[in-house]
Amino acid sequence: MLKEINNKVVLVLEGGYNLKMISEASSQCIMALLGDTQKVVDQADPFTSTMEAIIEVRNEFKEPWTGLAAEIDPQIVARCKPDPKSEDKKKRAAEEAPT
């Protein structure tokens, strides 16, 4: 891949709250750029809020980056689960609502 892009790459990883995960993500990105795709990463079901954010970003950038125009696998979308934080907020709001 590096040859195809003339060795010019910028990698930006956001969300450095978990140093172990950031180091793993950085390592995986670099290995992918070098063409090493051997490591299998555990897959977790995505949160609904995460999938919504991914879809929003893909829709925003699919014109200039045509690779993002492909649909997300419906099986992945079907595995989405509610975000525990948003569920907690809904529960607290319901408990605090006047009766």
Centre a 10 Å sphere on the Cβ of residue 88 and count the other Cβ atoms it contains: 10
75-99 pLDDT, tens digit per residue, is 888 888 888 877 666 666 677 777 6
CB 17 within 8 A of CB 51: no
Q: What's the pTM value of the predicted model, to 2 decimals? A: 0.48
Residue ranges of domains in the chain: 1-41, 43-99
Q: For 13, which DSSP code?
A: -
- Predicted confidence pLDDT, tens digits, the chain (99 residues): 566 767 777 888 776 677 888 888 888 888 888 887 666 666 778 889 989 999 999 999 988 888 888 888 888 888 888 888 776 666 666 777 776
Q: For 81, which DSSP code?
A: B
